Structure 1
Amino acid sequence: MKVSADVRAMIERRKKGYTLEAPFYTSEEIHALDMKAIFGQHWIQVAVEPDVPEPGDYTTIDIGDDSILIVRDDDMQIRAFHNVCRHRGARLCNQEKGSLGNIVCPYHSWTYSLNGDLMFAEHMGDQFDRCKHSLKKVHLENLAGLIFICLADVPPADFAVLREAMEPYLLPHGLKDCKIAASVDLVEKGNWKLTMENNRECYHCVANHPELTISLYEYGFGYQRSPANEEGMAAFERTVVERAKQWDAMNLPSAEIERLSDLVSGFRTQRLPLDRDGESQTLDAKVACRKLLGGFERADLGGLSFWTQPNSWHHFMSDHIVTFSVIPLSAGETLVRTKWLVHKDAREGIDYDVDNLTAVWRATNEQDRTLVEYSQLGAASSAYQPGPYSPYTEGLVEKFCEWYIGRLDSYANTPDEQLASHGEKIVSFMR
């Protein structure tokens, strides 16, 4: 049985508008299920194109027990393979990043080309067929410089929907012509779903993120209207309308697209103004890099947010991009990988200062880690019970949980023999 009777019962009785039951955050059984049903079946954002800027450059990503090798080949195509030799299974590349001419197994020197073909395997006899021992490919999609992989035999087909919607928003920022100015790995002692839920709302932002809220309008992520905030909310709404007209004239889409719960490859995007005549998410709301992205000629282009199910969020501004990728490590530990990107021609110390570039999100990530860890401790308590989401500020958290429970339900009710083709048959789980 792929899903135990107890887990099935929790899936079926999940109460809409409330947090999940405690085992969804604390159980190693459910963690193992998440790795199969979620991270083993869906498009997972794991890297950016500047991770592998030149032919032979590679990066590795661990998803559960699977190590994935992402490499740029001699034709400048980015490919993904299982990081496993086809001889006796040794791991091929044992560093997080590097550069190579061919992929050579450190054990017995089986040698593969950058497109995964087995080139050399000594002492295997005249009947040995090299063509049957190429590296095992992993599905890869490159969305305007954001790299997604899928471990399923047949991945969800609705990535095409995501691509069609998002390329007009993302391409103007020129991610493929960026470089990684900084990268930080943070391990949170909390379940990955708590990390994602925390990201999907800003109910907590004013009280917990003083650096981030310098540039973010507090009304930009859901607020209950009241006489006390009516004037401020109305002013913000007028600003959104005015700036949207300006951006539309520049061919910069800004309208919200919200497909978080009705697609297998769920996503959301929106471009919003930044506060204090803001240009970027920095401590003074001004650009952190003088060399602007793409062909931009002005700095005040707001902040474009892009969220994907199940594991990423991103902020695109005129001068830099911040990407966040989440990978579960256990029921109670989660890797949050943050990367800051600037134009590839920007000069460190002249066009940008790394400390200034990263200050807001370094502080925010640490603050969020604390909040996630508080939540994990609470979920482990005998007093924990699912609590209600705010309909004003936590609607997108509910959509994440709705998506997650829907995907578990779909996996639980899919016969084993159909899992290989499950992705291409179901574009939307809502039925």
Structure 2
Amino acid sequence: MATDEWNGDKRSIEELIADYQPGYSMEQRFYKDPEIYKREIQNIFLKHWVLAGHVSQIPNSGDYFLFEMDKESVIVIRTRDGEVKAHLNVCRHRGSHICLEKEGNAKLLTCPYHAWSFDLDGNLVAARLMGEDFDKSQNGLHPARVELVGGLILVSLSENPPSLEAMRKDLADVFETFGFDKMKLAASKTFPIAANWKLAVENYQECYHCTPSHQEYAKVHALALAPEKFSGLKKDFLETNDGSIRLGESNCYFDLAKPGDEGYQYGRNPLLRGMKSGSLGGEAVAPLLGKIRDYDGGASEFMVGPLSFFLIYNDHMVGYRFVPNAHDRCSCDVFWFVRDDAVEGKDYDLEKLTWLWDITTQSDEEIIVNNQRGVDSHFYQPGRLSEMEHFEQSFLNWYLAALKG
């Protein structure tokens, strides 16, 4: 199939982007054309920062876990001097994966194919029966860029990724208030989704579906309310805020990003009255985070890069990561974080902690797959977006600009 032709549509990708009509969903081809997916790999996935995991997953020297996205596998590892580094899981000999287990501990990274061995910093230290002109120093593992935000490990596969410094400076008070450097990963779960990755991200961007589709969520979060009811509750929330937790106001996708910086957002919205946290009945489920001293009836949204999202309650944080696996498959990885000194079974119950976003994501998986099935139909046409889908519209605007490059 020619790059500029898809099912009889001879428009180039640039022409398809130019033909998008704001206020509507996108044409079917955006969700099904493998050539568009290839463009996304180059213009989006290989350029931006993505949540790989958390430092609490690798407390000791040699501890590692794999972060995988599309065809890429990355070894995230704790080195002998305590640094967190990331290497492409691709042997420099003939390309075999080196680490075959999802997590573990290793003194050396030894390829199971021909036994080339690399130290924890990625340097080649042993290669059997190579010629005298072979230079081990030129055959270390390909590095991936790593940045820590508190204990969050962000990875980029770009040689020159966008800067995170503006985000660090702007949100320093937020990271301190919630104790980003004093959290640990309590649980994680992966949800494979038989759909294009954009349908998963678009679903996350709007709450138009929350009331009919997520009754559990709608009993806790004010964002599920109709706009006029939400506005009244938000007004009361802002007026009664004591200033101990930064509010922020995110109005569009990546609205805090400047040229050369990674896109990010932060905002805080009310829960329904009387709710403390994202749980059954809105009850507290873990010790308060960071410098938080009480429940103010709110929850913060934080995002960095196009695939990593966080919902910060006063007593725990939930991370969402959407990763593409192919043009028609993706995964949603959910992470639950608590204060680093909290003890499971004493300070928090894992089932109560994970209940809301486990059941909500299970529902979303079904919703997104059904969405893809409809988009696959010969009769699919772009539909009008509602006023509760303004964040989705902002995402579409950003996506089309990024795809165009």
How many angstroms apart in 2 are the aligned matches of 1:3 and 1:266?
29
Counterpart among 13, 19, 31 of residue 7 in structure 1: 13
> Which residue does 1:378 correspond to in 2?
374
Counterpart among 306, 309, 315 of residue 310 in structure 1: 306
Seen in structure 2, the aligned counterparts of structure 1 residues 403 and 233 have a Cα distance that, compared at 3 Å, is closer
- Can you give the 5+ residue segments of structure 2 that lack an aligned partner in the other structure? 5-10
Summarize the alignment of residues 382-421 of structure 1 with structure 2, pairs less than 5 Å apart. 382-390=378-386, 392-410=387-405
Seen in structure 2, the aligned counterparts of structure 1 residues 364 and 47 have a Cα distance that, compared at 3 Å, is same
How far is the alpha carbon of 1:261 from its aligned partner?
A: 4.7
Asked whether 1:254 is paired with 2:247, we answer yes
How far is the alpha carbon of 1:200 from its aligned partner?
A: 0.6
How many angstroms apart in 2 are the aligned matches of 1:356 and 1:330?
34
Asked whether 1:179 is paired with 2:184, we answer yes
How many angstroms apart in 2 are the aligned matches of 1:276 and 1:99?
47
Summarize the alignment of residues 65-80 of structure 1 with structure 2, pairs less than 5 Å apart. 65-80=71-86
Asked whether 1:354 is paired with 2:350, we answer yes
CA contact (8 A) 1:60 1:70 kept: yes
How many angstroms apart in 1 are the aligned matches of 2:147 and 2:251?
21
How many angstroms apart in 2 are the aligned matches of 1:258 and 1:163?
20
The amino acid that maps onto 1:379 is: V
How far is the alpha carbon of 1:205 from its aligned partner?
A: 0.9
The amino acid that maps onto 1:288 is: V
Structure 1 window deviating more from structure 2 (294-303 vs 311-320): it is 294-303
> Which residue does 1:128 correspond to in 2?
134
How far is the alpha carbon of 1:308 from its aligned partner?
A: 3.3
How many angstroms apart in 2 are the aligned matches of 1:66 and 1:260?
26
CA contact (8 A) 1:103 1:112 kept: yes
How many angstroms apart in 2 are the aligned matches of 1:258 and 1:167?
20
Asked whether 1:200 is paired with 2:205, we answer yes
> Which residue does 1:165 correspond to in 2?
170
Structure 1 window deviating more from structure 2 (263-272 vs 111-120): it is 263-272
The amino acid that maps onto 1:395 is: H
> Which residue does 2:8 correspond to in 1?
none
> Which residue does 2:264 correspond to in 1?
267
Q: CA deviation digits over 1:370-414, x for unaligned, max 9?
A: 221221111111221111222x3111101111111001111xxxx
The amino acid that maps onto 2:160 is: V
CA contact (8 A) 2:207 2:224 kept: no
Asked whether 1:50 is paired with 2:56, we answer yes
How far is the alpha carbon of 1:235 from its aligned partner?
A: 4.1
How many angstroms apart in 2 are the aligned matches of 1:152 and 1:87?
22
Summarize the alignment of residues 28-107 of structure 1 with structure 2, pairs less than 5 Å apart. 28-107=34-113
The amino acid that maps onto 1:14 is: Y
How far is the alpha carbon of 1:93 from its aligned partner?
A: 0.7
How many angstroms apart in 2 are the aligned matches of 1:321 and 1:3?
43
Structure 1 window deviating more from structure 2 (328-337 vs 396-405): it is 328-337
> Which residue does 2:273 correspond to in 1?
276
How far is the alpha carbon of 1:265 from its aligned partner?
A: 2.8
How far is the alpha carbon of 1:240 from its aligned partner?
A: 2.4
CA contact (8 A) 1:260 1:309 kept: no
CA contact (8 A) 2:252 2:394 kept: no
- Can you give the 5+ residue segments of structure 1 that lack an aligned partner in the other structure? 411-431
Q: CA deviation digits over 1:76-95, x for unaligned, max 9?
A: 22111111122222211111
Q: CA deviation digits over 1:27-84, x for unaligned, max 9?
A: 2232232222211222222322323233221111222222111112123221111111
How many angstroms apart in 2 are the aligned matches of 1:327 and 1:62?
8
How many angstroms apart in 2 are the aligned matches of 1:299 and 1:235?
16
The amino acid that maps onto 1:29 is: E
CA contact (8 A) 1:348 1:354 kept: yes
CA contact (8 A) 2:288 2:315 kept: yes
Q: CA deviation digits over 1:312-361, x for unaligned, max 9?
A: 21111222111111111222221000011222322222211111111101
CA contact (8 A) 2:250 2:265 kept: yes
Count of residue pairs brought into register by the alignment:
394
Seen in structure 2, the aligned counterparts of structure 1 residues 51 and 81 have a Cα distance that, compared at 3 Å, is same
How far is the alpha carbon of 1:3 from its aligned partner?
A: 6.2
SS of the counterpart of 1:138? strand
How many angstroms apart in 2 are the aligned matches of 1:322 and 1:344?
15
Question: Identity of paired residues, percent?
Answer: 30
Q: TM-score, normalised by structure 2?
A: 0.90
Q: TM-score, normalised by structure 1?
A: 0.85
How many angstroms apart in 1 are the aligned matches of 2:44 and 2:131?
42
The root-mean-square deviation of aligned C-alpha atoms, in Å, is 2.2
How many angstroms apart in 2 are the aligned matches of 1:44 and 1:179?
18
How many angstroms apart in 2 are the aligned matches of 1:295 and 1:54?
27
Structure 1 window deviating more from structure 2 (334-343 vs 268-277): it is 268-277
CA contact (8 A) 2:97 2:111 kept: yes
> Which residue does 1:367 correspond to in 2?
363
